[in-house]
Amino acid sequence: MNRAVLEIDSRVGNVSLARVAAATFIAPLDPDVTELSDMKTAVSEAVTNAIIHGYGGIEGNTVRMTLTLDGRLLTVEVTDNGIGITDIACAREPLFTTLPELERSGLGFTVMESFMDTVDVISTPKVGTTVTMTKEIKIIEAADGHESLRDSSLA
């Protein structure tokens, strides 16, 4: 098992750092381009939600991302100590947003659920939120039964 923890300031510009860190973390598993893109998009949504919704876009707070690899199972945990979510079921509904004035699409959780195998949300109002996502990184075998080489240069 391998584990890494990244703590970043709650700046929208740091979303790309979280994406690259997650991509680099799974690079040894040689994910295909689709797996890599899906995981990076889900990480972007989770970290952006923490910054925009958890902290109201206010810089100077911390978003913590914990990455774990257990064999080929990736677990990404994104935690904030922000305002929390009062109704998780409602927040997970497509097109629901608490910030329509910022032209938020309300698809964050829907995107995460589309691109990851599982998405769990634990939140306490006035305490914070943790989003835990998992994705199994597949092994692709060539026609001859051997593992194929894939291009992981898009990390």
* Complete DSSP assignment for 91-122: HTSTT--S-GGGT--S-HHHHHHHHSSEEEEE
Which residue among 104, 113, 147, 150 is the active-site one?
104
> In the prediction, which pLDDT does 86 show?
87
Give yes or no: 61 in active site: no
Please tell me the distance from the alpha carbon of residue 56 to that of residue 30, in angstroms, as a whole number.
Answer: 36
Query: Where along the chain do its domains lie?
Result: 2-139
Which residue among 35, 49, 61, 77 is the active-site one?
49
Report the candidate in 90, 132, 137 with the shortest Cα–Cα distance to residue 113: 132
pLDDT digits (tens, 9 = 90+) for 57-92: 899 999 999 999 999 999 999 999 999 998 877 777
How many angstroms from the chain centroid is the CA of residue 90? 20
> In the prediction, which pLDDT does 14 show?
97
Contact predicate 24/39, CB 8 Å? no
Answer whether residue 43 shows pLDDT above 80.
Answer: yes
Report the candidate in 136, 87, 133, 88 with the shortest Cα–Cα distance to residue 112: 133
Please tell me the distance from the alpha carbon of residue 28 to that of residue 48, in angstroms, as a whole number.
Answer: 26
Please tell me the distance from the alpha carbon of residue 119 to that of residue 22, in angstroms, as a whole number.
Answer: 16
Which residue among 45, 92, 93, 136 is the active-site one?
45
The CATH classification of domain 2-139, taken from the options 3.55.30.10, 3.30.565.10, 3.40.50.150, 3.40.50.2300: 3.30.565.10
pLDDT digits (tens, 9 = 90+) for 95-140: 566 555 555 555 678 889 999 999 999 999 999 999 999 999 998 7
Give yes or no: 77 in active site: no
Give yes or no: 49 in active site: yes
